[in-house]
C-alpha cells in the first residue's frame, strides 16, 4: 500500500495544493450557504489554521508547498495587471480618486499594522531588546 510518506516530492506538492484549495472551497461553500459577509477564502484560511493548530504535523507537511507558492507570488499579480490595463479608460476618468484611495488605504494599513505590533509588544512585555 502506498502511503503519503512514500510519495515523491511532486506528489506531495500536488496533495498539499489540493488540500489548500479544498479548504478554500469549503470556506466558499460555508460563506455562500450561510450568506456570510466574509469571503469564502478567508473562512477557508481560518479553517486551515485551525487544522494546523489541531495537527501541527500537517502544518509542517504543507510548509514546503506554501513556501514555494510564496516564492512565485508575483505570478499571481499578472492577471490583475492585465485587468487594470484593460480598464485603462476607467483609470483616466477616476484615476486621481483611485490613487488617493490606494495611497490612503496603504497608509492606514501600515499604521494599523504598526499599532497592532506595538500593542502586542506591550501586552507581551517584549521591549525589542533581544533578537
pLDDT attached to residue 49: 94
Question: DSSP letters along 45-81, please?
Answer: HHHHHHHHHH-HHHHHHHHHHHHHHHHTGGGGHHHHH
Residue 1's pLDDT is: 47
pTM: 0.57
CA 96/CA 85 separation, integer angstroms = 16
pLDDT tens by residue, 35-83: 999 999 999 999 999 999 999 999 999 999 988 888 887 777 777 777 7
The burial class, CB within 10 Å (0-12 / 13-18 / 19+), for 51 is middle
What mean pLDDT is predicted for residues 90-94?
Answer: 78
pLDDT number for residue 70: 85
Amino acid at each position: 500500500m502506498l502511503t503519503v510518506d512514500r510519495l515523491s516530492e511532486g506528489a506531495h506538492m500536488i496533495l498539499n495544493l489540493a488540500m489548500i484549495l479544498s479548504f478554500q472551497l469549503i470556506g466558499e461553500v460555508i460563506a455562500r450557504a450561510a450568506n456570510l459577509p466574509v469571503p469564502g477564502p478567508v473562512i477557508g484560511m481560518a479553517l486551515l489554521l485551525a487544522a494546523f493548530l489541531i495537527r501541527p504535523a500537517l502544518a509542517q507537511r504543507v510548509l514546503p508547498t506554501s513556501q514555494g507558492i510564496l516564492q512565485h507570488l508575483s505570478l499571481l499579480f499578472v492577471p490583475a495587471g492585465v485587468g487594470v490595463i484593460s480598464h485603462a479608460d476607467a483609470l483616466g476618468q477616476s484615476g486621481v480618486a483611485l490613487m488617493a484611495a490606494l495611497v490612503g488605504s496603504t497608509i492606514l494599513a501600515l499604521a494599523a499594522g504598526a499599532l497592532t505590533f506595538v500593542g502586542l509588544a506591550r501586552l507581551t512585555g517584549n521591549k525589542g531588546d533581544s533578537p
